[in-house]
Amino acid sequence: MASTDPNARGRLSARALLAWAERCQHRGDDEQALRWYQRSSRADPGWAPPWFGIGLIHKHRGEWPQAMQANRAALDRRGAHEGAVWNLGIAATALHDWRSAREAWRRYGLEVEAGEGAPQIDCGMAPIRLDPHGRGEVVWCDRLDPARARIRNVPLPESGHRYADIVLNDGSPNGTRRVGEREYAVFDQLELWQASPYATFEAWIETPDPASLDALAERAHLDDGQVEDWTHSVRHLCQACSLGDPDADHDHPPLEPANDNAGARWVGLAALDQAGAQAMLDDWLHAHPAARLLEFRQVLAAGVAQ
């Protein structure tokens, strides 16, 4: 028996068009995907999924006004669409539209204090993947709210990021990392939200006691800086492990950068200027006379004026 619903043909057409759009998006053809999502939205104007797909394309392109518009359209058609609520919050955060961001997080069910500025929603710490389509370095961050995270490591200079940069992060987990028995979801960076005033320096240090570098980190913290023993902390991961659980299946060796200082520790320092970084090293070397500084230089300038 033929359907008596006058909209049935439109719904079937919209679903077929949506399936084709998702296939195009999966193979990386965003232009075609966007075109088919738009056709799907016209075939069934009251259906939310095509608008959510349109919003996804604009989110990954960093086209934030269009992402906000598309996700609002999805929510107008299905108010309980959690993905659209979350992506509305991300787009609003990118645009510093705090009223819309607060609205989104409240709709998601989070407690948000009253106010006009950026919401402060302590989401704990999380690993964030910088430059997910490139080098994919994963760093630990303090999540300021669901869409913003402040870097607490000293990233490698090749990342273009610094200690205390604030990045805009996606809301979809993409891999895990473990600390002890606890597992943390990894989130991908979408873009730099606010650059840090810290510069990045590297030092090559010869020391009979690598554990003494903990004291260098403590000295850096006195000036609100940071120190990272890259020799110990940096690992190259295969793609499968980076996007999954790197501790689950096999080991990955520490990074071994090309340098003449064989056997020395490769250390990253975050400081507001070169004099501050030098003072950290000088104080630590004075307290550890058996250690030797072999090389020291700035490798990444500060991101914003102090």
The half-sphere exposure of 195 on its side-chain side, counting CA atoms within 13 A, is 15
Q: Are the C-beta atoms of residues 220 and 280 closer than 8 Å to each other?
A: yes
Q: Give the pLDDT of residue 1.
A: 47
Asked if residue 65 lies in contact with residue 95, where contact means CB atoms within 8 angstroms, the answer is yes
**DSSP string for residues in the chain:** -----TTHHHHHHHHHHHHHHHHHHHTT-HHHHHHHHHHHHHHSTT-SHHHHHHHHHHHHHT-HHHHHHHHHHHHHH-TT-HHHHHHHHHHHHHTT-HHHHHHHHHHHT----S-SS-------EEEEESSTTTT--EEEEEEEETTEEEE-S---GGGT--TT-EEEEEEEEEEEEEETTEEEEEEEEEEEEE--S-EEEEEEEE-S-GGGHHHHHHHHHHTT-EEEEHHHH-B---HHHHTS-TTTS---PBP----S-TT-EEEEEEESSHHHHHHHHHHHHHH-TT-EEEEEEEEE--SS--
Residue type, 92: A
pTM: 0.87
Q: Going from the N-terminus, what domains does the chain have, and what CATH number goes with each? A: 8-108 (1.25.40.10), 125-194 (no CATH), 199-300 (3.30.70)
pLDDT of residue 116: 87
Question: What pLDDT is recorded for position 11?
Answer: 81
**How far apart are the C-alpha atoms of 102 and 233, rounded to whole Å?**
36
Q: What is the pLDDT of residue 232?
A: 85
pLDDT (0 to 100) of residue 306: 44
- Rounded to whole angstroms, the Cα distance separating 92 from 101 reads 5
> Would you give per-residue pLDDT tens digits along the chain (306 residues)?
445 555 677 788 999 999 999 999 999 999 999 999 999 999 999 999 999 999 999 999 999 999 999 999 999 999 999 999 999 999 999 999 999 999 999 999 999 988 889 998 999 999 999 999 998 999 999 999 999 999 999 999 999 999 999 999 999 999 999 998 899 999 999 999 999 999 999 999 999 999 999 999 999 999 999 999 999 876 544 455 555 555 555 565 555 555 556 679 999 999 999 999 999 999 999 999 999 999 999 999 998 754
